[in-house]
Amino acid sequence: MQENIIRQSQKYKIMSPDTRDIRNIVLLGHSGSGKTTFVESMLFEAGEIDRRGTIDGGNTISDFTSIEQTRGNSIFSTLMHVEWRGNKINIIDTPGFDDFIGEVVSSLKVADTAVVMLNGAHGVEVGTELIWDYIQEYKTPAIFVINQADQEKSDFERTLEQAVDRFGPHVIPFQFPYNQGNGFDSIVDALRMTMYVFPADGGKPEKHDIPADALERAKDLHNQIVEAAAENDEGLMEKYFEAGTLTEEELTKGLNIALKHQQIFPVFCASAKMNMGSGRIMGFLHDIAPSPADVGKVELENGESLTLDSKNPETSIFIYKSLSEPQVGMVTYFKVYNGTLKSGEDLINADNGSHERINQLYIANGKNRVAVNELKAGDLGVTVKLKDSHTNDTLNVKGVDREIKKIEFPESRIRTAITPPSKAEMEKLIKALHQMQEEDPTLILEQNPQLKQTILHGQGQLHLDMVKYRLDKLNGIQMEFEEPKIPYRETITKEADESYRHKKQSGGAGQFAEVHMRIEPYYEGMPEPHGLNVRHVEIEDLPWGGKLAFYWCIVGGSIDSKYSNAIKKGIIQKMTEGPLTGSAVLDIRVSVYDGKMHSVDSNDMAFMLASSNAFKNAFRNAAPQILEPIYDVEITTNDEYMGDVMGDLQTRRAIIMGMDSDGHYQKIKARVPLAEMYLYSSTLRSLSQGKAKFHRSFAEYQPVTPDIQHKLMAHHKDEDE
């Protein structure tokens, strides 16, 4: 193993902490909130590093990949750890751009506490809104850190007010800055009723009495904290009513319960750049934050649950992240959910049955990894060179059959077609993209035979641009984006009857088949076809959606039933590429009620051709209709950009379904044709200066207007010619 990739650390003291001595935290926040700089302070204060790196210097522990150092922001989540007062605190730093939300979701899956960073100069930003939705979904205990207290425009009170307004009354400040802005060096701590005064270069503060002009507020906040701690335990509530306060031990117990059940969201303040405040926050995580043992039961795929227990011999681990590294290959990040995992142990993948030997077991600080002999339940670890195990897989010891509930990654919000510079490059390109897809499950590669395009789905334009950048810089592959075709569908709106005779004679045996059919729009529960004797019915679910109802109504043997499959195959073949635009056809009932055959010249191929042509001709006479995919789109934006966003939607044939206020944001719900969504991510970012976000999900297919249908048909005709 390369020494610059894996190294032994003399500083690491906790070789195998017990489950109760572990804290798993994830750093979350909008881009620019200071997460990466804050974790540098944590590592420095804990003695894991000798000096703090900087974003500008490209030498932080977290952003260790070349692309992150070049861009100056996080692209991947990064696992790190510190030892703090006998606890091991695992830290996962995550990207701030919601284009990389997959890294956030996978990290939240294995974290037990979320540390949400807010930029004190910018307040609560829209990226935090998206993150908060996932914190609520995972029911993750959370604390807030209002960072950048040293900035001239920092406004702790405004940011706190926005946080309470958006995230609810359980957001309670445990600290506030005494002199924010230029010259900041003091934090009033209402939990400890102490003021921390930091030296000019940060680090360990001195403890001072709280000044008189801040004492009343500190007391009020302390009382709020004590009440919040007492509310969640009947015994503590009685003691609080009797004594009017709680002991430090009782307060710790009550806050642990309140934090664990999201009944309180403590707010701290800090200056990551000045190295002020991280030590106190690590102390809070040590004292109050839940350990993996406190969190409770873990949900399994079968609906049952699992309690973390390091002494249970039925070891299980869950893979939450995979990352390819030069000279190493695929690196696998996992959480031990039961038992004690030992180096050299054999595990079985519950998803595919493959056997995996954990030959190398590591803990991580960015790219630097430390070999360990074992990891106990609740801990996060790293291994390399697994053969056939991937993100979202569960690995168990032999004889154990359980699957940890999988991560549900968000649907894609943007799509583009990709073309390599040459056909020779396509195989190399697809291989590289599959590797990226292994690292990032929110990146979806689709080879679409109907559109005859290779489609790349992602979370935003930045997400796709990063894929393009990495392919160029790391793989030497260039590709271009082009507008993807729209997966239109075709159907009919009225009934039509048609017949077709296929006759071919060329010397020897010829081909002969004649088919009479009726086609109708299909819907569930429709009455039987009038005037026909139905002998056999098949309802076929089509691969592209919708149904084909195939009715065999032949009476008297005019066509032998052995040809019914060939006739249905010919119909489906034509439905694959519809008569109007070459798009797939859906929701049709076809009743075959007459025809002719020849004892010598009839065969399956002849009936396939006859039925295909009969269907095509009938389709054109049945008032055909082109359908387009419609998406539900929800946009969250500031008030100031509302008019611009609404105006843009109107140019996209959008139907506004509703508007609602959500704190200091506005939510717009609309239905928008997919054909109008190309590059919408970039447009919205431009309209809102990056302060709006959107979700989209497929809603339904709807008929296009006559003028659009005419244009689509004319365009298809031109392409054919």
* Whether the predicted pLDDT of 622 surpasses 70: yes
* Whether the predicted pLDDT of 3 surpasses 80: no
Among 308, 296, 303, 295, CA closest to 337? 308
Residue 508, pLDDT score: 66
Tokens of 578: 């519809």
pTM: 0.86
| Cβ–Cβ < 8 Å for 320, 393 | no
487 secondary structure, DSSP code: -
What is the residue type of 116? V
Average pLDDT over residues 499-507: 85
Average pLDDT value over all residues in the chain: 92
Among 320, 333, 394, 317, CA closest to 367? 333
The answer to whether domain 414-485 and domain 627-720 are alike in fold is yes
Residue 239, pLDDT score: 80
The domain limits of the chain are 19-227+262-295, 298-396, 414-485, 490-622, 627-720
Enter the CATH code of domain 298-396. Answer: 2.40.30.10
Q: What is the pLDDT of residues 252-294, one digit of tens each?
A: 999 999 999 999 999 999 999 999 999 999 999 999 999 999 9
Query: CA angle 434-435-436, nearest 5°?
Result: 90
Residue 507, pLDDT score: 63
Output the CA–CA distances (angstroms, integers) from residue 444 to 322, 447, 539, 699, in the order listed. 16, 10, 31, 20
What is the residue type of 331? V
What top-level class would CATH report for the domain 19-227+262-295? alpha beta
| Cβ–Cβ < 8 Å for 378, 19 | yes
Count of positions (residues) in the chain: 721
Cα 487 to the center of its chain, rounded Å: 24
| Cβ–Cβ < 8 Å for 50, 121 | no
Q: Which residue has the higher pLDDT, 577 or 507?
A: 577
| Strand ranges across the sheet with 175-177 | 175-177, 186-189, 194-197, 206-208
CB proximity list for 213: less than 8 A, separation 6 or greater:
none
pLDDT band at 510 (very low <50, low <70, confident <90, very high): confident
CB proximity list for 137: less than 8 A, separation 6 or greater:
none
What is the residue type of 626? I
Domain 627-720 falls in which CATH fold?
Answer: Alpha-Beta Plaits (3.30.70)
* Whether the predicted pLDDT of 457 surpasses 70: yes
Residue 51, pLDDT score: 92
| Cβ–Cβ < 8 Å for 348, 356 | yes
What residues are paired with 415 via a beta bridge?
A: 457
Residue 383, pLDDT score: 97
Cβ neighbours around 56 below 10 Å, total: 8
Q: What is the pLDDT of residues 655-700, one digit of tens each?
A: 999 999 876 678 999 999 999 999 898 899 899 887 788 889 999 9
* Whether the predicted pLDDT of 459 surpasses 50: yes
Classify domain 414-485 at the CATH superfamily level: Elongation Factor G (Translational Gtpase), domain 3 (3.30.70.870)
Residue 429, pLDDT score: 92
Among 574, 523, 573, 529, CA closest to 551? 529
User: Is CATH 3.20.20.140 what the domain over 490-622 is classified as, yes or no?
Assistant: no
Indicate if the alpha-carbon torsion angle 468, 469, 475, 477 is positive or negative: positive
**Best mean pLDDT range from 58-62, 429-433, 565-569:** 565-569
CB proximity list for 366: less than 8 A, separation 6 or greater:
60, 61, 62, 64, 78, 79, 80
pLDDT band at 719 (very low <50, low <70, confident <90, very high): confident
Average pLDDT over residues 80-94: 95
**Percent of the chain topping pLDDT 70:** 97
What is the residue type of 65? T
